[in-house]
Every structure is written in structure tokens, then in C-alpha cells.
Amino acid sequence: MCRTKARVEPRAQALEQTLTPTPASKMVAQRQRSSSCSSRRHLAGSLMFLATTAFALLLPRSSPLSYGIVIDAGSTGSRVHVITYHAGALLQLDWSRTSSLKATPGLSSFAADPGSGGLSIAPLLEFARRHVPRDSWVHTEVRLMATAGVRLLDVTTAEAIMESCRELLRGSGFRFQDQWATMISGADEGIYAWVAANYALGTLGGARQDTTGIIELGGASIQITFATDKPMPPEFSHVFKFGDITYNLYSHSFLHLGQECSI
């Protein structure tokens, strides 16, 4: 079973704040205190942050300075990442203008009341509005990606929670389509982490043998992803194209093996 204890993740390279429920208010913003976590936990937190920005590599590049919003709906909480990037052949993330906010609990905690799931991300959207210039809202895509916590729910409950989130996102003022709020597969979760890690290392777009494989430990699942030229079972084989380069990726997700779960 997954433990319901909430934790505050170490921040990555940009400011991250945290929302936690209190008796007076379900969501109260507070600045995350500096962490004394080990270097391994810090690296894991950084990769989790980078993974949520990986989709920005495919965003439209219509102006020199653009924005993107990603809501990472994990098992222990939901994080909004407001991403600022400069257009180009390979976009450059502007870390000085990139910020994050976390709200707890996660969407899977609303299984008994799916219609309230969307309300939990309302403070995250308000945070995004404060960090994206108003005249850029209509051009700024907002996407919500739910991961293993929601994947563990039955299909009907999971879809009801997702629909409650879509309803709120439709009226956010940002550019949104219903298919941009979805429950992503474990394989995709691993691929996003692989793209982000290799982007950060400067190996994305290079030769396969120069890339780095990843093991991503989430709250309710663990993902293993790497590039290979070896034959793979079809269910674990994925093709990822970046520019003129094509990578054959092995990506496998294991539910119930996350850091908040026990066998």
C-alpha cells in the first residue's frame, strides 16, 4: 500500500514554494526551507523538476521570450512549474525566471470526492497568473500530467478527477486543450525524465552511446529508461526523435515500487 504521508521535495534550480492544508485553509503558501538532504536526494529532486520541463522542448517558438506551464500531478502533491525560455534551434530555459509551487495532497487523495480534485490546483493556476505577463496568457500553454498516484485508481475515478481539473483549466485564461490534461503512462514518465537528464547534461542530440540512462524514483512508481541499439520487447521499446537524431529507448515503469509505497 502507498503511504499517505506528505513530504516536501528538495528544490531544483529555481524557486519552489509549497502549499499545505491547514485547519483555517486547505491551501496555504509557504517558502520551502533549505534542505539538508544528501546529494543523492538533491539530484533526484532536480531531475524530477527537469522532467516536468522536458515537454518545453516541443513547444511552439513564436517569440524570443516565451512561457510554458506544466502541472506535475504526482502521488504526494501537485507542482506547477512556470517555465520561461528563449526560442532557437534548441531552446534555452531561463532559470532566473522559472519558478515553482507545490500543493498537497496529491490528486489521488480525492478518490472519494473526485469533483474536488480540480479545486486543489486552483492556487497553482493563480501562482502561474502572477508569473506570466497578462498579455502572454493567451499564447501560453498549460498542461497537466498525472502520474502513478492517479494510475493506481480505478479508471472511472481517475477520469472524474481529470475532468474536474480540465474544467478549471478551461477557464484559466491560458491556452488549453482537453487532451493536455491527461494521465501519462509510466513509460512516458520515464522518457520525459530521460530527455530532461540528457538535456541538462548536454548530451541530448548527440550520439546514442554518449547519452545517460536514468532510474527515476517517484512516489508510487520507479522508471528505468535508456537508449540502446539492442533488440527489446515491443512493450518496452519507444522511438524518440530529436531534430535529425532518432533514439531507440527502453522505458519500463514499475508501479508500487515508489518511495511512498511498500510491497
What is the number of domains present in the chain?
1
Residue 139: give its domain's CATH number: 3.30.420.40
Residue 244 within any structural domain of the chain: no
What are the catalytic residues? 189
* Chain segment 219-239, per-residue pLDDT in tens: 878 899 999 999 999 999 999
Position 226 in a domain: no
223 within some domain? no
The SS3 call for residue 226 is strand
Exposed/middle/buried for residue 202 (C-beta within 10 Å: 0-12, 13-18, 19+):
exposed
Residue 11 has a CB neighbour count (10 Å cut-off) of 21
Cut 0.85: pTM above it: no
Instruction: Point out the annotated binding site for ATP.
Output: 219-223
Span 3-23, average pLDDT: 43
Is 190 within the bounds of a domain?
A: no
| Nearest in space to 189 (alpha carbons), one of 249, 248, 262, 229 | 249
**50 domain residue, yes or no:** yes
Q: Is residue 4 in a domain?
A: no
Q: Which residues are annotated as a binding site?
A: 219-223
Which range among 1-15, 137-151, 163-177 shows the weakest confidence by mean pLDDT? 1-15
124: in domain: yes
Mean local confidence (pLDDT), 83-87: 86
Residue-range definition of the domain harbouring residue 23 = 15-183
Is residue 2 domain-resident? no
